Chain A
């Protein structure tokens, strides 16, 4: 039995697509760290191979009916058997393609963005580590394997957020992300154990099969679903564990594009989609999940309305959009959620990469500073940014319009109109903050431009460090992603056929609103964009949003609804002064005291034994003989 040998071409491709980045990671860490070009080349080459293989897999298995599973025993003992392998089905193949495509584009982009950084090779090593962990997570056939890679993804996220570890805020942000996602992971692990206790294994196919309901009582299913959803909350930064994501923007911008918007944070939503049939077993859990998704979507959207840091805006919008996907899935729209996941990955990566070009050129994250610096002169990035913002806002013909409309259609089917209302409100807010950014960047106040024109000779004004257009490695990924954003929406039909083979999820009607739904959604989006125009775009606008005019709202939104304050209070008062104190005292007095006593005893015994060793050989032999005699005598007792 040769475990890692490919059984056929499909298996070989799956192996290649997951293992190549690992090979690159090991090669860079062990060998080529001192050679920057070679390291980057290895990493990009590896991810290009995985990208190629994953697309080949997608085409090969386009007409796949049954999920394809390859597994081998990792550890096999008498009773314990831990399988390892791949599970290929439509949703995993689609996600694999998204992940590898965006990894590839971001790595190419990073060639320009990270050029000259002292940690260049380390950066590519971590990127490869992430690519390996993420692709393996996507193809995991069991929840145990998924959990292992889930943690590895968390680790690479931590490493990349704190990539500039000499910056204090970066290490803090890395730690915060790690600790908060860990809180979710504990819940995830408990959920896994619960499922394991009842079902006996963690195979995803079995959990999704119709027979699973017979294995677990329905209350336990609800309980397990909610615990697993805890992991999703942590990873996808949903309410209440959402404040780590904006801080995670301390990492390099390509990292934010790849991990903290397009792929890694989407792993939570992916897991939800993966276990969709399992979650549908518990309507109660789905209700709670729908609620949490909605709250996250609206909270994060309000935060995005007042943020001044361009990356922060997109970070909040990521939380908001992930919440939106979860709403779609929780309302029963499997395809709608996954489709929005797909389109979102494209346009959100594009948003970040465009912002990266701006930040790279002007060395500031502040929207108004960027505007003053004259970002409007960067033609291609600004056009791409506008395209992506259009998609985010849900304007036709960009991809976001189609996927948002799909989710809204699902929400419209639910009996309670409040979810649909929240969806419309979200669409309005999203369009508002997306175009707020665009208008601020495009139309700096007249006085500011004049002064910057006058002061252009002075060193104090932020000046572009590169000439317009930057390097081509920065631009090409933008063009590719922008074209995806334009085209992807029209692939809705084929994708739906691919993902949902049977017709069970096809929507027959659009609920109460019927065919009017897309127009209403469009109306809200346009209203949001229009409001942004009135406040930020038109001639002589004061560029102060309606939320910023009310001090209460401004503080509430910019302080993230005081969630961080609440955490700090909670950690300070309850955990630090309450539990920790008790435990610390127990630790100091009882445990440390006894351990000290024990280790002193151990050391003394050790000295004594060593002393015994230095005796005369004949006495020692005598002792041995005595022991043998005693042992023999023991036979007679």
Chain B
């Protein structure tokens, strides 16, 4: 039964279809819809977990199942589930669009699941576009239409621009190699490392990924889109979407890159520019989501260090970092979603007094921000440590040094956030934040995950290494 291998995708597809039908036949009922979404996304996690062992090829070799793809599918399904947990009150989205909101969310997750397994250039392109188009629509769903529309259009324009560059790259690559399957590319690329068409084609294909990953020079949408999109959508873009793209970048680069000095240099330049630009621009931000947008750019820079340290160690560190990002970014957004005032974005100043309004949320914010900043003993520290170790093994000392300087710069704005939550005196006393019991449990377990994995990362490292090996 080969179709069993396709379980997670089928499950998410059926769920998306269910919401499509629901939106056509039934009047919106937020509480009921949210419950459906919770149940369906939880089922999605369960099915993905059940399919972790699957291996093989589907659809005449265009679709590959291995440990790498299956674990990433679990991560994506969990990301979806976590985001749905935040959708209890979708204040920011018009009531009549709420069913479509879930529909697009599930479709986007489906597309990303396809992406992490894609083995054919066209599959990659299709999956990438499907996920992008769902996101363009999700971004514009915001109740305050001006904000959402501006964000959506900037996102869309940058997106189609990046896609066109990517398609151009694919054309060049195909022209040079006559190959469209990644496994074929892996065989011919070593001889073509000096052919401009092949290598530049490669770079342009990465351009399309870099748009999604928010790497310089395709970062221009990030700040505006993060700011303008509904909080939950921003959270989704920052977590699940990043994880999926890191996965596909790893898959492509592991197939084609045979230690090309040119690619390493280019990626190093992009990585340095992204980190520096993201961290510097974040310092003066006042809007919390905008700040997180710039910090995302910086984190993409760190991930690139792992990716360009070609080899199992580098890939494993990138996988570890991607999974760590999922947890820590999500925790920050959980706080943002819960604390945000109605109808507008959360300013950093408005975090003042959070430790009195909700000690648990303040703690969650502190741990996750420490984790993003890379302070031990959190998972973020472990992630940065392994990325830097992998780069050091490759002899990229200067790159690591620059990254370290960047980490120090980033501490400034991260600590400002914590200072706001713990030390600043609020201008007006706000009522305590109410958290439902399931949300309390979720927050607590996220905090525990970040700290425990930070203390004892060995199992996750072993998993990442196994995943990186299955790529080869």
Contacts and interface: CB of A to CB of B under 8 A. Distances in A.
Interface stretch (B2-10, B50-58, B127-135, B279-287): B279-287
Contacts of B161: 621, 624-625
A251 B218 CA distance: 60
A75 B200 contact: no
B357 interface: no
A184 B116 CA distance: 54
Contact of A628 (B154, B199, B217, B277): B217
B461 A610 contact: no
B220 A621 contact: yes
Nearest to B273: A627
B458 A609 contact: no
Interface string A596-637: 000000110111011001000100110111011001101110
A77 interface: yes
Contact of A635 (B153, B196, B224): B196
B280 A606 contact: yes
Interface in A356-396: none
A628 B204 contact: yes
B409 interface: yes
A603 B313 contact: no
B281 A613 contact: yes
Nearest to B386: A77
Interface residue range, chain A: 20 to 34
B348 interface: no
Nearest to A607: B284
B230 interface: no
Given A628-B165, A635-B262, A621 B281 contact: no
B196 A636 contact: yes
Contacts of B415: none
A1 B199 CA distance: 42
Given A74-B456, A77-B389, A631-B203, A606 B220 contact: no
B458 A73 contact: yes
B207 interface: yes
A634 B264 CA distance: 12
Contact of A76 (B165, B220, B461): B461
B458 A75 contact: yes
B280 A3 contact: no
Given A613-B223, A635-B199, A78 B280 contact: no
A403 to B, nearest CB: 40
A12 to B, nearest CB: 19
A610 B284 contact: yes
Contact of B220 (A1, A74, A78, A617): A617
Contacts of A613: 220, 223-224, 281
B108 to A, nearest CB: 23
Contacts of A621: 157-158, 161, 220
Given A78-B313, A78-B393, A627 B217 contact: yes
A71 B281 CA distance: 47
A3 B204 CA distance: 45
Contacts of B217: 623-624, 627-628
B384 to A, nearest CB: 14
B456 A3 contact: yes
Interface in B233-283: 262, 265-266, 269-270, 277, 280-283
Contacts of B393: 78
A78 B393 CA distance: 10
A606 B281 contact: yes
B196 A74 contact: no
A625 B168 CA distance: 13
Contacts of B270: 631
B214 to A, nearest CB: 12
B457 interface: yes
**Interface-central residue, A77, A620, A621, A624, by most chain B CB under 10 Å:** A624
Interface string B186-230: 000000000010011001100100000000111010011000000
Contacts of B262: 634-635
A610 B282 CA distance: 8
A597 B456 CA distance: 40
B219 to A, nearest CB: 9
B218 A624 contact: yes
Given A621-B157, A635-B262, A636-B196, A609 B220 contact: no
Contacts of A627: 216-217
A635 B285 contact: no
Nearest to A73: B458
**Interface-central residue, A73, A606, A610, A625, by most chain B CB under 10 Å:** A606
Contact of B457 (A75, A624, A625, A636): A75
Interface string A72-97: 01111110000000000000000000
B283 A602 contact: yes
A637 B14 CA distance: 52
A606 B456 contact: no
Given A610-B284, A610-B285, A632-B200, A624 B456 contact: no
Contacts of A603: 283-284
Nearest to B313: A78
B201 to A, nearest CB: 10
Given A621-B157, A636-B196, A628 B280 contact: no
Contacts of B284: 603, 606-607, 610
B280 A609 contact: yes
A605 B283 CA distance: 10
B269 A631 contact: yes
Contact of B458 (A3, A602, A617, A623): A3
B266 A605 contact: no
B355 to A, nearest CB: 15
Interface string B272-311: 0000010011111100000000000000000000000000
A603 B284 CA distance: 7
A635 to B, nearest CB: 5
A636 B281 CA distance: 32
B29 to A, nearest CB: 37
A602 B279 CA distance: 10
Contacts of B313: 78
Contact of B283 (A73, A606, A623, A624): A606
Contacts of A606: 280-284
Given A602-B409, A628-B207, A620 B281 contact: no
Contact of A609 (B200, B281, B409, B457): B281
B281 A610 contact: yes
Interface in B433-461: 456-459, 461
Given A78-B313, A623-B217, A634 B280 contact: no
Contacts of A634: 262, 265-266
Contacts of B216: 627
Contacts of B196: 635-636
B277 A609 contact: yes
Contacts of A628: 165, 203-204, 207, 217
A77 B312 CA distance: 13
Contacts of A76: 458, 461
Interface string A152-169: 000000000000000000
Contacts of B269: 631
A635 B201 CA distance: 11
Given A74-B458, A77-B389, A613-B220, 14 more contacts: A1-B462, A3-B456, A73-B458, A74-B456, A76-B461, A78-B393, A602-B409, A606-B280, A607-B284, A609-B277, A610-B285, A613-B223, A625-B161, A634-B266
Interface of B: 153-154, 157-158, 161, 165, 196, 199-200, 203-204, 207, 216-218, 220, 223-224, 262, 265-266, 269-270, 277, 280-285, 313, 386, 389, 393, 409, 456-459, 461-462
19 contacts: A3-B456, A76-B458, A78-B393, A606-B280, A621-B158, A621-B161, A623-B217, A624-B217, A624-B218, A624-B220, A625-B165, A627-B216, A628-B165, A628-B204, A631-B266, A631-B270, A632-B204, A635-B199, A636-B196
Interface of A: 1, 3, 73-78, 602-603, 605-607, 609-610, 613, 617, 620-621, 623-625, 627-628, 631-632, 634-636
